[in-house]
Amino acid sequence: MRGLSIKLKLPLLIGGLVVVVTGVYAVAAYRAMARAAVTVATGRLTTVTDQLAQVLHASRNQLVAHLDSIARQPALVTYLARPGASRSRVALAALVPPPDRSSGVAGVALWSADRRRLLSQGEAPRRGLTADSALLRAAATADTAVVGAFRTVGDSLAYPVAARVGTPGRIQGYVVEWRWLAGSARAREQWNQLVGASAHVYIGNADGDVWTDLTHPVAAPPVDLTHATGLVRYDRPGVGPSYAAARPIDGSPWLVLVEYPVQAVLAPARLVLSRLMLIGAIVLLLGLAAAWAVSRTLTRPLVRLTHAAEAVAAGDYTQLVGSDSRGDELGRLATAFDVMVTRVGEAQQRLEDRVRARTAELQERNEELEAFAYSISHDLRAPLRAMGGFSQALLEDYGERLDQTGRQYAERVVAGATVMDQLIRDLLSYSRITRSELRLAPLDLRRVMQSATEQVADDVAARHARMVVNEPLPAVVGHETTLAQVLANLLANAIKFVPPERTPEVRVRAELRDGRVRLWVEDNGIGIAPEHHERIFRVFERLNPAEDYPGTGIGLAIVRKGVERMGGRVGVESQRGGGSKFWIELSQVEAVDDRERHSHSAG
């Protein structure tokens, strides 16, 4: 997640939120609805079952009353008292029920007190429907007619109603009527209207052997319902888990059972759940699309801002974010960024202009100063020479007339003028090296070396110095007279800064380093402590007293300035008392092409 771009993160976040919220909401809503549906369904189940039981009880009462009225007919009593062919016709006529009630009747029979069937109407006997003695015994003692348990006949169900003829004390016989259970699709539909389409109504015997759904016989419920008063829950094969309520029908061995499949109870909740899921999916899609659009509009200016910031980091102040007239925080940020970049760019420009102006000014001042120093030094030489010359003339022409002290004074004037002349000459050559235009060219280092050696020939001779030049000396890029003077200064120092009792030994050698030539001038002199290595290259810096090692302190300053103007570098490796190794580094001739430009610009 951390590496993802903001453009992706936002839609993912919003999508996740939508999924979680709709998921939690849908599950909570489903649970609440399911609970409510179960409560409603079970309440309804109980009510409906009670109502059905009452309805069935009422129709049982009608049947009983009807049969009682048949049993009371005098024709039957007469026939049973004295059976005979003539009276049997009258009795049979009395057994036939009124036409409007005959539809569900399978047959009616008249039984004797000793339980023999005397007369019979209808198909019942043919279908094996005969009264059992238990039913007749019950009829013998009951106040009214009794109904018996259902019996299966093929695909239909029938049940008997039995009434006594006579009084309990003097039983003359029995009337037994077999009725088909009113089983038709229409009847079933009527029941369903009462209980609701998703519920199933069953009627069966309380002892659980015969059950019907009002059209066909069905399997008995998988639990014993005889003593079940409240709700039961069980699995009916082929239907699944169901809630069920059973009620006995008073005055009969029957039970009515109403089943609600859990599936059907939860169907509305499931429907709501699937609708919620659908709505959730739509909201998710819309949310994703909106989040994508928002994150694009959010990140587009950020991306532009990033590019602009990177450009600024690279020093380009011209890349502005540009305003796309957004009024929000990002729009203000972009505007502020542009203003800031413009200001910084302007400030940078002003700074550069100022630095350029200052540099030019400084250069001008420097040049003026150098010109001033040059002309002063130059102009000083004439009076100095006059002083030196006239002092010398004083000594030569009037020496005898001066006493000892006078002569000493004149000699000191001459010596002072000589030192000062040397100082002025050194200053003039430093100034010349600083100011003159140097045209760099490939140089034969050996020839330059030779010229330098000639310049120090007097010193070599005076100190009997030994000088070794290690060949080869590769060609370098430089300015001939400047390089000759640089080398001469280094050689002169190498000979000069050696204790008087020691013979100076000077070695010159060259080495190649990345297209540059490093030229070493090594001596066996007094050496230089490392803390002075930087200082000695500055003007007038000297480490030793003038009585021991005379000098002006300008020689090494000339060396550094000259080498730098030829595009090179200088340095020294030395310890106090351990001799010194001075080096200068210049471009090698092979690599001249790209160095030359640099040297010119440096000069």
CA of 195: how far to CAs of 14, 46, 213, 369, in Å?
Answer: 47, 10, 13, 121
Nearer to ligand ADP (CB atom), residue 148 or residue 525: 525
What are the E-state strand segments in 35-136? 105-112, 117-122
Q: Point out which span in 128-136, 285-293, 505-513, 534-542 binds ligand ADP (CB under 6 A).
A: 534-542
* b (16+ CB within 10 A) / e for 462-481: ebebeeeeeeebbbbbbbbe
Closest residue by Cα to residue 509 from 490, 533, 535, 528 = 490
Q: Point out which span in 231-239, 300-308, 323-331, 537-545 binds ligand ADP (CB under 6 A).
A: 537-545
> Looking at 303, 428, 543, 591, which residue binds ligand ADP (CB under 6 A)?
543
- Tell the smallest beta-carbon distance from residue 450 to ligand ADP (Å): 21
Residues 457-486 interacting with ligand ADP (rule: CB under 6 A): none
Nearer to ligand ADP (CB atom), residue 218 or residue 420: 420
Q: Using the rule CB under 6 A, is 497 a contact of ligand ADP?
A: yes
505 three-class SS: strand
> Looking at 183, 504, 555, 568, which residue binds ligand ADP (CB under 6 A)?
555
Euclidean distance between CA atoms 501 and 389, whole angstroms: 35
Rg of the chain's alpha carbons, rounded to an integer? 67
Structure tokens given for 160:
């008997």
- Number of Cα atoms under 13 Å in the Cβ half of residue 357: 6
Q: Using the rule CB under 6 A, is 583 a contact of ligand ADP?
A: no
Nearer to ligand ADP (CB atom), residue 195 or residue 557: 557
Q: Point out which span in 71-79, 108-116, 248-256, 493-501 binds ligand ADP (CB under 6 A).
A: 493-501
> Looking at 431, 552, 587, 588, which residue binds ligand ADP (CB under 6 A)?
552
> Looking at 255, 523, 561, 565, which residue binds ligand ADP (CB under 6 A)?
523
- Tell the smallest beta-carbon distance from residue 441 to ligand ADP (Å): 26
Amino acid sitting at position 84: G
Burial of 547 (0-12, 13-18, 19+ CB in 10 A): exposed
> Looking at 524, 580, 588, 599, which residue binds ligand ADP (CB under 6 A)?
580
Is the CB of residue 488 less than 8 Å from the CB of residue 495? no
Q: Using the rule CB under 6 A, is 251 a contact of ligand ADP?
A: no
Q: Using the rule CB under 6 A, is 542 a contact of ligand ADP?
A: yes
In which order are the strands placed within the sheet that holds 200-205?
A: 217-218, 211-212, 200-205, 254-261, 240-248, 231-236
Is the CB of residue 101 less than 8 Å from the CB of residue 153? no
> Looking at 139, 264, 291, 526, which residue binds ligand ADP (CB under 6 A)?
526
Q: Point out which span in 5-13, 59-67, 117-125, 545-553 binds ligand ADP (CB under 6 A).
A: 545-553
Instruction: Tell me phi and psi for residue 189, to 5 degrees.
Output: -60, -40
Q: Point out which span in 111-119, 408-416, 501-509, 542-550 binds ligand ADP (CB under 6 A).
A: 542-550
* b (16+ CB within 10 A) / e for 428-449: bbbbebbeeebebeebebeebb
Q: Using the rule CB under 6 A, is 524 a contact of ligand ADP?
A: no
490 three-class SS: helix
- Tell the smallest beta-carbon distance from residue 523 to ligand ADP (Å): 5
Binding site for ligand ADP (CB under 6 A): 493-494, 497, 523, 525-526, 528, 536, 541-544, 551-557, 580
